Every structure is written in C-alpha cells, then in structure tokens.
Amino acid sequence: MKAICIDAEQLLWRDCELPELGPGDVLVRNHATAINRADLMQRAGLYAPPPGASDIMGLECAGVIEAVGADVDGWQVGDKVCALLAGGGYAEYAAVPYGQLLPIPAQLSFEQAAALPEVYATAYLNIFIEATAKRGERVLLHAGASGVGTAAIQLCTVFDNPCMVTVGGADKVDYCCSLGADSGFDRHSGESFVAAVKDWTADKGADVILDPVGASYLADNQHCLAIDGRMVVIGLMGGLSAELNLGVMLMKRQRIIGSTLRSRSLTAKAELIGALKTHVWPHFENGSLKPIIDTTFSIEEAGRAHALVASNETIGKVVLSIR
C-alpha cells in the first residue's frame, strides 16, 4: 500500500507495508482522511503515537471494510464506515479496532464522513461526559471555528445548550453564529473575552468551557467560569504553564479537567463511539448535524493541507481524498 511518510520534514506518498490485522480489527480501504492539529504536532516530533499505534499520521478515516478479524462482531466486508484512529489514517489501508467504527450516514460522501469521528468524539466527550453539561447550561467554546469548535456548536444547539465562541476574525464570528452560536468574540479585537462573556451571561459566567489554548487563557477562563463551573483543557496552543488562582477556584467551586482522546484505552474509546452512535449519529441522519469542511485536497497534497491548517485561516476541517 501507499502512505504518507515524513522525510526531512516533507510529506511524501510512498510505498509502505500493509498494517497487521489483529483478531479484533477490521481492515479498511480508506477513501478519505482528515487533518487534526495532533498530526502537525506529530510531524514536528512533539506528539508521539501511543504504544502499539501506527507511526503513520491520521486520527480518522472513511472507507470500506475489506477484511475482518476472527473476533469482530457486527461488521462485515463491504460495509461503508468511518473510524476513530490512534494513527494510520494517511494511508490506503488502516487496521481499526472494531469498537471504533461508525456507519457512514447514508447521505454523506467518504470525504464528508472522514471529517466526523475525531471532532465529534472530542466535542461530545469533553462537553457532555467530562464536563457533564446539562440541558440549558451555558458553554464557552474557544477556537469556535475549528473542526472541534464547529462540531461543538452544533452539538450544543441540538442538546439545548446556549454557547458562545471565541475566534480569530469577524467573519468567523458570523459563521459560528450561523451554525447556532448565540454570541461570538473576535480575539483580534485586542480586548479580553472576559467582559464579553460576562455580558452574554448577565454576569453569571459560563457553566462549561472547552479550551484548546491552555496557559495563556487560564486566568481569564477562571474569571469567566460560573459557580460550580467546569473547564476542560484539551490543548496547549497557548503554552504549558500558568498561575492558577486557587482562591477563585475554591470560592467558586470550579473544576479544571485535563483531557486527551488519543491515548485512552480501547474499551474507553469503544464506549465513547457507542455513545456517539446512540446520541449523536441520529442527528446526522435527520440533517440537524453536518460535517463542516473548509477544503479538500488529494492525499498527495498533504503538505499543502498541513500548511493551510497551520495558518489558522480555516473554518471546520481540512480533508484528504484517497482514490
């Protein structure tokens, strides 16, 4: 098979060995994959795959099952699927634990389906499982125009959670509001988002914050959290270390949760995928949720696609087509 290999910082489409198929795995012939910031970090040597995972980049894929392991239940050759991966998506074939498979909604293409697993799993896990968001609770979404952000806006809309976004540009504010966000803040304005959040919540604060930024937003996030508020940190784009105000944390009974998806156990991922199939996938079938794709490239153009994601100019996902 062919796969994207890193050679002197270049991304090259080269011959590689087929992945080994375990008894609980299926072999998927990939027709599309999608880019996540974790891929850019892995390319830079900053985010190694978990033990046992493929060294090939790519945390999601969509395609057709070509073979099934002896212990696989509920899937067969020929099924059209999309999948959450610990690695291996930038390739013609991927070995996938069968608990991490989802059916492709009938009306979606392979490219559209490849844009779903990682971002919807991340958004649902962290807002509704880790932060236990209840109906009506207010959610603040940083990087609201990202893949995870645009998925989170739509999930908040269908589950009746008012949400506000912070984004990099007035056009992104407008787009996020068109998806269902109640309010938006342009981080390029030069102001802090704290006042905007307090205005949006009538000084009550956000019940849940989903934050991929990290250190540089910590202090402002604490000021934005409501009493009994929960903040889930899922990324470190703004740095690793910051001072935590324990007084504010205690007095407001704040909870700060660190969360990653890639390194979770197969059992935990299977449980999450099961929750998505039950609670989220029906909303794709009825059209109330949809993939948000900025640009689609061919797999041979993976380098250009990475550069576009790194530019922070995108809205939603960047997808790679594999034909």
Tell me the per-residue pLDDT of 121-146, one tens digit each, with 9 for 90 and over. Answer: 999 999 999 999 999 999 999 999 99
At 9 the pLDDT is 81
- Say how far residue 270 (Cα) sits from the centre of its chain: 16
Give 19's pLDDT tier (boundaries 50, 70, 90). Answer: very high
Tell me the per-residue pLDDT of 161-199, one tens digit each, with 9 for 90 and over. Answer: 999 999 999 999 999 999 999 999 999 998 999 999 999
Tell me the per-residue pLDDT of 244-264, one tens digit each, with 9 for 90 and over. Answer: 999 999 999 999 999 999 999
Cα torsion for 174, 180, 185, 187, to the nearest 10°? -80
> Per CATH, which fold does 120-258 belong to?
Rossmann fold (3.40.50)
Tell me the per-residue pLDDT of 201-240, one tens digit each, with 9 for 90 and over. Answer: 999 999 999 999 999 999 999 999 999 999 999 999 898 9
Mean pLDDT of the chain: 97
Note whether 106 and 129 are within 8 A (CB): no
Q: Where are the domains of the chain?
A: 2-116+262-321, 120-258
Tell me if the domain spanning 2-116+262-321 has CATH number 3.30.870.10: no
At 265 the pLDDT is 96
Question: How would you classify residue 202: left for phi > 0, otherwise alpha for psi between -120 and 50, otherwise beta?
Answer: left
* Continuous segment of H or E residues that includes residue 306: helix 302-310
- Give the pair of three-digit tokens for residue 312: 């922070």
